Amino acid sequence: DRFPESLRRSSIMTKKKNVLMRSAGLLLALVLVTSCFVGSTFAKYVTSGDAADNARVAKWGVSITAHATGDVFAKEYDAIAGQDNTVIAGGEYKVIAPGTKKDNATLVTLSGKPEVSVQVTYNAEHFSLTGNWIGDASNTFYCPLIIKVTGKVGDAVKTETINCVEKTSAAEVETAVKNAVAACSATYGPNTDLSTVAGDGLKISWEWPFEGTANPGQTDAKDTYLGNQAATATGTDVPAIHIPVTATVTQID
């Protein structure tokens, strides 16, 4: 060999160092290139913002005023037009008699301006005829009243007329009145002032005609017999009519 062993080893080590330095230089270059990509080429648009909202509970504020004493019946009536009151109760109770009537009596009134849609419904589950409603000695049921229930049914205000003289029992009259009242229902959108829609509300009318010709099946004899029942009966046997009505206002979807 021309070169001593020591020189050969020195040459090999020098080559290895050169390789390592080249490798390190290449790695540094790659790092710099990668840094360039990360720092600029891969940059993106970024926009940020804050959002918030607030709400309060929607107003309800609905009020139902029930006419506890009502204006359906009275203690005095002008049964004959143009004259002073010809029917005057002799005690603490209100009365009805031939020739007396009441048109479009309101039992409940609504108020409030709810911020939600609502439905107004009615029921007369406790309507009743109590006592001896009879027109002759055979104890045959007899009620000479004509009852009208007016209210909004669907999209229109309608009136259901119940000729009680055509019914065969107090239960039949009660069922007819209850069904007529329950059929009345009205819906209103948000922010409707309920005090301004009284025209849609439930109204009760009744009449005891003075002459039977206006109410086929009614006679003077039967009216007189019924009146005598009121004069002679006591306690729960006294013929009486009760018209309580409940109104309910409910939020709807």
One digit per residue, pLDDT tens: the chain, 253 residues?
444 555 555 555 566 556 556 665 555 555 555 555 455 556 688 878 888 888 888 889 999 987 755 679 999 998 776 778 889 999 888 999 999 999 999 888 999 999 999 999 999 999 999 999 999 999 999 999 999 999 999 899 999 999 999 999 999 999 999 999 999 999 999 999 999 998 899 999 999 999 878 788 999 999 999 999 999 999 999 999 999 999 999 999 7
Residues 154-171 as b/e (b if ≥16 CB within 10 A, e otherwise) read eeeeeebebbbbebeebe
Q: Note the Cα 152 to chain centre separation in Å.
A: 13
pLDDT reported for residue 95: 95
122, 202 Cβ separation under 8 angstroms: yes
Q: Is the pTM of this model over 0.95?
A: no
Count of H helices and E strands in the chain?
Answer: 3, 13
Residue the block writes with tokens 């009805």: 96
Q: What is the 3-state secondary structure (H, E, C) of 103-146?
A: EEECCEEEECCCCCCEEEEEECCCCEEECCCECCCCCCECCCCE
pLDDT reported for residue 234: 93
Does residue 181 sit in helix, strand or coil? helix
Measured CA to CA, the distance from residue 101 to residue 207 in angstroms comes to: 4
pLDDT reported for residue 96: 96
